[in-house]
Structure 1
Amino acid sequence: MSGFGVEVRDLTARYDATVALDSVSFTIRPGVITGLLGRNGSGKTTALSVLAAFKRRASGTVLVDGEDPWENERVLAGTCLVRESGDVAQDQKLKDTLEFLADRRPLFDTQLAGALMDRFELDPLNRPDRLSRGKRSAFGVVVGIASRTPLTLLDEVHLGMDAPSRYAFYDALLADWLEHPRTIVLSSHLIGEIERLLEDVVMLDRGAVLTVSDADTLRSSGLTVTGPAHDVAAFVAGREVVARQHLGRTAQATLVGPRDDDAARARAAGLELGPVALQDLFVHLTDRVPTPEEAR
């Protein structure tokens, strides 16, 4: 199983008079983990809802595994959208929900679900409406990973989980994806935590696409330079600096727009060059002055 690919062309989606997605286009490659990144209100949840046929588009083309997902039994059977708390019945025991899913999802792994329940210390006799927010999110993680659908959409599923639980989630997701490759779209604002998982990135801002790229290419659009503060300042003079850090006499600056002579200049100055974090690029690309309407 290599997963479903996704093609989106000129997609517009609305909530009454509000345009959530405005003629966006992007591709999600089959069999990879793609990060869907954006600030709150950027359109991430709307995009995932359209892909999963939870919401109908206003216009444009959406193809999942080459077919329109809307009311498409085959595509929907191979798609799992998990939002915070897992979109499951709140008054049913967790074990009953897992049995229901195992009966209806042909690739659902009951043994894996049980192992994840143990890992996140979830009582199968409990119900979601009696769980903390973090435990409800953990159960959503169990559902998303154990379903093993060809297209798995995880929308901020970590909300409410503490740091050890989040990292357990990332490790479990990556381990199972390596053993059972499929298409996974991971929406999160914790970019620094998830970037090690990502092969591709789709970045949204205010209902539009900012960039679609593989993660390595996106990282290569910037660089970090580290060394004595005075030498770093001279190196970055006149350049576009998106982040700075200082520790005593040592400084690090993050640049966008690397130049061909950067490596030679850094060697001559005794400076160290390194890759840029996706988090820094994300903040730079989405940094903006609020409109008068947003500032009210």
Structure 2
Amino acid sequence: MRVDVQGLTVRYGDVTAIDDMSFSLSGNKIYGLLGRNGSGKTSLMSVLAGYRRAIGSVQLDGEPVFENAAAMRKVCLVRHPADAADKSDKVSHVLEYGAAWRDTWDNAYALELSELFKIGLKSKVGELSLGQRSAVGAVIGLASRSPLTMLDESHLGMDTPTRYAFYDALLNDFMAHPRTIIVSTHLIEELSSLLEEVVIIDSGRLVLQEEADVLRSRGTEVVGNAADVDEFTEGLTVLSEKSLGRTKSAMVFGQLDDSGLVRARQLGLELGPIALQDLFVHLTEPVGGKR
């Protein structure tokens, strides 16, 4: 499913959550939606799901989503932790609701995931732990097989083994059933290997949209003798520095040209990639104490 957003603005009274945002997602990818708290991620997903009227244009495969029942049936938005579910309902009933709303629902897969995450179908949602409620949301999101599936921090509350089982299930099912998946997360490094494209927003504005591998190539870790590292990084954008005795490492932002690579070899410096999370922090860093 292709997503096209043009001039999108969302306001809550005097607060502007999304400020004249425009972007397009070509579809059949796993996208990472990254932003600090209060950046507008949840508001954006709500509009994409058709839950909220907004200023501007939001189209899914060329059709408006708001007040369009046919388009909304192709979308699944899971919030943390399965907030939309009535906590007095049994898990089995929640899954039945999911099946009733979505033509693409795979009930056999939903039961398989429930067993994987050790969720009792007869349990009431309100009696589950926070991590188990998050797992219910993950089951709904994956089993829906919706052309546009959005997971808004839906993995939070899961313990580490369950999160990794969820990541494996997400990737395997995407490979078998390609669709447009948007994942909002603060656990960037855990999910970074799954993300094909990254959309970074801050203070309701689009900061960057880029393929994850291209974004990673923008940063380099430089390690070597402290004096040599200082000489090499002079004039470059340095994100952070660490020293241990005479050895120093520096993370720099910006692609190095051929002359830079040659100079690094001449100085005996080691060059390596830096984490996607470090690049995200730099790109959303407050300037002068303001964002």
Give secondary structure in 2 for the equivalent of 1:157: coil
Give secondary structure in 2 for the equivalent of 1:101: helix
- Asked whether 1:69 is paired with 2:65, we answer yes
Give secondary structure in 2 for the equivalent of 1:135: helix
Residue of structure 1 in register with 2:280 after alignment: 282
Please give the alpha-carbon distance, in whole angstroms, between the structure 2 residues aligned to 1:82 and 1:249: 50
Q: Which amino acid aligns with 2:60?
A: V
Residue of structure 2 in register with 1:144 after alignment: 141
Query: What is the identity percentage for the equivalent residue pairs of Structure 1 and Structure 2?
Result: 48
Residue of structure 1 in register with 2:230 after alignment: 233
How far apart are residue 193 of structure 1 and its match?
1.2
- 2:100 corresponds, among 91, 99, 103, to 103
How far apart are residue 33 of structure 1 and its match?
0.6
Greater shift, 99-108 or 245-254, is seen at 245-254
How far apart are residue 149 of structure 1 and its match?
0.3
Please give the alpha-carbon distance, in whole angstroms, between the structure 2 residues aligned to 1:202 and 1:79: 19
Greater shift, 169-178 or 244-253, is seen at 244-253
How far apart are residue 181 of structure 1 and its match?
0.3
Please give the alpha-carbon distance, in whole angstroms, between the structure 2 residues aligned to 1:273 and 1:265: 11
Q: Contact conserved, 1:221 with 1:256, CA < 8 A, in 2?
A: yes
Matches within 5 A, 1:97-246: 97-246=94-243
How far apart are residue 213 of structure 1 and its match?
1.1
Superposed CA deviations along residues 47-78 of structure 1, whole A, max 9, x for unmatched, are 00000011110x11111111110111221111
How far apart are residue 248 of structure 1 and its match?
5.7
- 1:79 corresponds, among 59, 64, 75, to 75
Q: Contact conserved, 1:155 with 1:187, CA < 8 A, in 2?
A: yes
Please give the alpha-carbon distance, in whole angstroms, between the structure 2 residues aligned to 1:137 and 1:113: 14
1:200–1:111 CA distance, 2 compared to 1 (3 A): same
Give the TM-score normalised by the residue count of structure 1: 0.92
Superposed CA deviations along residues 120-152 of structure 1, whole A, max 9, x for unmatched, are 111111111111111111111111011110000
Q: Which amino acid aligns with 1:155?
A: D
Please give the alpha-carbon distance, in whole angstroms, between the structure 2 residues aligned to 1:246 and 1:95: 55
User: Which stretches in structure 1 are left out of the alignment for 5+ residues?
Assistant: none
Superposed CA deviations along residues 230-277 of structure 1, whole A, max 9, x for unmatched, are 432332133211123445654332111223122211222222222222
Residue of structure 1 in register with 2:262 after alignment: 264
1:103–1:192 CA distance, 2 compared to 1 (3 A): same
How far apart are residue 99 of structure 1 and its match?
2.1
Please give the alpha-carbon distance, in whole angstroms, between the structure 2 residues aligned to 1:161 and 1:243: 31
Q: Which amino acid aligns with 2:87?
A: Q
Please give the alpha-carbon distance, in whole angstroms, between the structure 2 residues aligned to 1:248 and 1:99: 62
Give secondary structure in 2 for the equivalent of 1:85: coil
Runs of 4+ in 1 over 2 A off after TM superposition: 226-234, 243-252
Superposed CA deviations along residues 155-189 of structure 1, whole A, max 9, x for unmatched, are 01122112222111111101110111000000011
Give secondary structure in 1 for the equivalent of 2:81: helix
1:246–1:139 CA distance, 2 compared to 1 (3 A): farther
Please give the alpha-carbon distance, in whole angstroms, between the structure 2 residues aligned to 1:117 and 1:246: 48
- 1:255 corresponds, among 252, 257, 280, to 252
Query: Aligned pairs, how many?
Result: 288
Q: Contact conserved, 1:243 with 1:280, CA < 8 A, in 2?
A: no
Give secondary structure in 2 for the equivalent of 1:227: strand
User: Which stretches in structure 2 are left out of the alignment for 5+ residues?
Assistant: none
Q: Which amino acid aligns with 1:49?
A: S
Superposed CA deviations along residues 91-146 of structure 1, whole A, max 9, x for unmatched, are 11101111232233222111211121122111111111111111111111111011
Please give the alpha-carbon distance, in whole angstroms, between the structure 2 residues aligned to 1:107 and 1:246: 54
Give the TM-score normalised by the residue count of structure 2: 0.94
